[in-house]
Each structure stands twice: as structure tokens, then as C-alpha cells.
Amino acid sequence: MALINVAAREIHGKIVYYGPGLSGKTTNLQYIHSRIPSNTKGELLSIETETERTLFFDFLPIDLGKVHGFTIRFHLYTVPGQVLYERTRVAVLNGADGVVFVADASRDRLPDNLQSLRELAQNLTAQGKRFLDYPLVMQYNKMDLPQGLPTPVLDRYINTVKVPRFEASAITGKGVFETLRAISKLVVNKL
Amino acid sequence: MPQFDPEISRMVVVEEDQAQISACLQRLMADSGASYSMVIDRAGQILASESDEVRPEMVHLGALIANTYASTQEMARILKEDGFKTLFQEGMKEKIFTETVRGRWLLVVIFDKQSQVGMVKVLARRSSAVLANILDLVERRSTEVNSPRFRQVGKATIDTIDLLFKDDGCSDDE
């Protein structure tokens, strides 16, 4: 739920990066954090396991500056991707204004992507959202790897709802900001 | 577990609301001796805060508390409880007490050893009831607000998004 604080002249939105384990959700936030000016970002907070897998969430507050006298702030979150943490994903998804589904384009991860996407749809529906109207974009990550499935195949299996989708290699930054732009605009359009 | 109303995609807090919320928080701090208090939504966004000093780290604290609270609601669901209404963290220097407001917002109070935990809990519960009435009204009115001003802000924000989120970013390291 976007928060418009007229008194404080602030608008807040929450964007969640969702997807199967090791698909590159945290890498997206790390790249964004490394590339935007320091005056527009807060500290990147990561709550991870001893093996540097996301345990709870990553959190990156971004400040877009003043627009018509309002300070625009986005809070970016990732969820833990491992199957075990399903209920934690529900908790982090609570109150999100938009979701980036980060799919791993590797051939052998297709079932994981589909399972994660089904779970996302169920969780949003359980929160009373209409999945088909919900601000959602997809990112096909790891497209630079040789075992990656071609985009038309990913479109056919993963993007059946035909939302905006972007090819990416989060580790090099390709497609990261394109994805962020798209979801940010969808969220703002819901104001 | 209480959820966000899916029909409300935004919450609009105007000056009058802010003044009422702030007055409630100030009273709570004065009566309990707490050093910081804030109201956050379930997404961890700060609706209002009052403090003895500027504490910029509260943006991160808000996110952590909101997610911790959401996590405890999932624990409650697993244990077939209706929900856990409070959170309490105790440190050597400071303590944090969090009380739900209608299950949709959170009242966070930070205090030190000068304040008694029992007192903070009682006063926070009382403040939560007052805040619930204020926030109910804010929420109801938010569905009716359809200002062209927000649409204008939205349009201008999209231009800002294009500028700030360029493909290679715009790090100040360069």
C-alpha cells in the first residue's frame, strides 16, 4: 500500500524481488546499490545465513528526490528464495505495491521458476490482491550463461500472464535498471 | 491474520491527521519517559515519528520491525493462535516495545532504563486505541481522495525514474 504523507510531503512505495533460490534477487539489489548516487540511497541491509544465503530479506531504501514538492521514496526488498522459507516470503510480501519476479533462465531451473511463480500468485491472492491486475514485471536473469533457455521459451512457460519482461545478467548489471524502471513506473501509476 | 484492504492501494495522511498522531505520540513519550516513538504501516513505512533527537537509522528499524511482526503473525498461524499483538526487544541500553494498532499498523516505543516496561506497555496499549480511531478515519478518507495533484506528481515521478534509473546507473564514484 503506497503511503502518501501530505503533511511530511513524502510518498513511499514498497517493491519486492521474488523468485526461486539463487536466481539473483540479492545481486539485483547489490548492483543497484553500487550504481546509484550515495545521496539517493540508504544502507543495503542483508539478513543472511552463514553461507550468505538470504535468511529473511535484503532491504534497500531509495530516495528519488523531490517531485512537485514531494520526496519520493521506494523501499526495495528481496525474499529468501529457498523452499524452506515459504512463510517468511509471505511476511515480506505483506504490503508490497509491486513485485519483480526474478527467474533463473538456466534450463534446469525451469521447474523451480514455475513453482515459485505459482506460490507468488497464491500468496498475492491470499492477501486479497488480484494477480492479473497486480503491478508485476519479470526478469529473465543469467541470460549470459550458455545453458540459458531462449527468451521465447521462457515467455511461453513463465510469462503466461504477459507482463513486461526483461532479459538480464544481474551480475554485470544488464537489465537491472531496465527492470527497476518498469516496476517503479507501474507502482507510481497506481497512485 | 489481518491483511491490507486490497481495495485501498494507498494511504493519504494530511496535516490534520499528522498533528493528531504526533500529539498522541508526544503524550505517550511524556507520560512514559520514552525517547522515541513512531507509527509504521505493515510495509515498514513510517507514518509519523517523535523523538528527543534525530535518528536516521529508524528507516531501517521500521523495515525490520514490520517484517519481524509479519513473521510472528506467521508463527501464530502455525500455532493456530489468533495472532501475537506485541513485540519486545531488550538491550543493555535501550528497549523496544511494539504494539499493533488494529492489526494494520504498528506503534513502536523506544525507551531506556529510566522508563518502566510495565508502564510503557500500559500506556502504549492506551495510545494504540487512540491511534486506531485516528487511523481508521485516515484510511476511510484515503479511498475518497482522488486529487489531480497526485496524478501530476505521479507523471513527474515517472520522468525522475527515467533520469535516476539509467541503464548503467549514475554512481557518484565515476
Q: Locate the chain A residue with the closest alpha carbon to B164.
A: A64
Chain A residues touching B167 at Cβ < 8 A: 177-178
Under DSSP, is residue B117 helix (H, G, I), strand (E, B) or coil? helix
Q: Is B44 left (phi over 0), alpha (psi -120 to 50) or beta?
A: left
Report CB contact under 8 Å: A14, B162: no
Q: Which of A96, A140, A109, A107 is nearest to A20 (CA)?
A: A109
Query: In A, which residues are within 8 Å of B60 by CB distance?
Result: 42-43, 45, 59, 61
Architecture of the domain delimited by A3-189:
3-Layer(aba) Sandwich (3.40)
Q: Give B2's pLDDT tier (boundaries 50, 70, 90).
A: very low
For residues B171 and A177, give the distance between their C-alpha atoms in angstroms, rounded to a whole number: 13
The backbone torsions φ and ψ at residue A4, rounded to the nearest 5 degrees and listed phi first, read: -110, 110
Query: Which three three-digit cell numbers place residue B82?
Result: 489468533
Note whether B162 contacts A181, CB cutoff 8 Å. yes
Q: What is the pLDDT of residue B147?
A: 63
Q: Considering the domain boundaries, does residue B171 fall inside one? A: no
Phi, psi of A60 (to 5 degrees): -135, 110
Domain range for B69 = 15-146
pLDDT, position A181:
93
Residue B167 within a domain: no
* Residue in A39, A43, A95 closest to B43 by CB: A95
User: Between A6 and A75, whose confidence is greater?
Assistant: A75
Contact A5 B47 (CB under 8 A): yes
* pLDDT, chain A, mean: 93
CATH number of the domain where residue B75 is located: 3.30.450.30
Chain A: give the shortest CA distance to residue B137, in Å: 15
- Please judge whether A42 and B59 are an interchain contact, meaning their C-beta atoms are less than 8 angstroms apart: yes
Q: Where are the domains of chain A?
A: 3-189
* pLDDT of B42: 87
> Is position B42 within any domain?
yes
Task: List the grid coordinates of A117.
Answer: 511463480
DSSP secondary structure string for all residues of B31-72 = HH--SEEEEEETTS-EEEEEESS--TTHHHHHHHHHHHHHHH
CA distances from B100 to B121, B141, B157, B172 (A): 12, 21, 32, 40
Q: Is residue B169 part of a domain?
A: no
Residues B61, A43: contact at Cβ < 8 Å? no
Residue A99 in 3-state DSSP?
Answer: strand
- On whether residue B34 sits in a domain, the answer given is yes
Closest-CA residue in chain B for A96? B43
Set of chain A residues whose Cβ sits within 8 Å of the Cβ of B154: 188-189, 191
- In the DSSP assignment, the letter for residue A174 is B
CA distance A187 to chain B (A): 9
Percent of chain A with pLDDT over 90: 71
Q: Beta strand pairing status for B105-112 and B36-41?
A: antiparallel
The predicted-structure confidence for B46-57, as pLDDT tens digits, reads as follows: 999 999 888 888
Q: Kindly report, residue by residue over B72-128, the tens digit of the pLDDT.
A: 998 999 999 998 999 999 999 999 999 999 988 999 999 999 999 999 999 999 999
Q: Do B160 and A2 touch (CB under 8 A)?
A: no
Tell me, yes or no, whether B155 lies in a domain. Answer: no
A7 with B41: Cβ contact below 8 A: no
> Residues for chain B: how many in total?
174
Instruction: For residue B5, give the nearest of B109, B103, B75, B87 by alpha carbon.
Output: B103
Residues 91 through 130 of chain A touching chain B, CB cutoff 8 Å: 91-92, 94-97, 127-130
From the list B9, B59, B170, which residue is nearest A36 (CB)?
A: B170
Residue A138's H or E segment, with its range, is strand A136-141
Does residue B153 form part of some domain? no
In a domain, B69, yes or no: yes
- pLDDT (tens digit per residue) in B77-92: 999 999 899 999 999 9
Dihedral, CA of residue A160, residue A119, residue B84 and residue A84, to nearest 10: -150
Q: What's the number of domains chain B is made of? A: 1
**Kind plus residue range of the DSSP H or E element containing B95:** strand B94-101
How many CB pairs (< 8 A) connect A and B?
171
Q: pLDDT for A82-104, tens place per residue?
A: 888 999 999 999 999 999 999 99
Q: What is the DSSP letter of A22?
A: T
pLDDT for the residue B174: 44
In this predicted structure, the answer to whether residue B1 has a pLDDT above a threshold of 60 is no
A189 touches chain B (CB under 8 A): yes
What is the torsion angle, in degrees rounded to the nearest 10, for the CA atoms of residue B146, residue B152, residue B154 and residue B158? 160
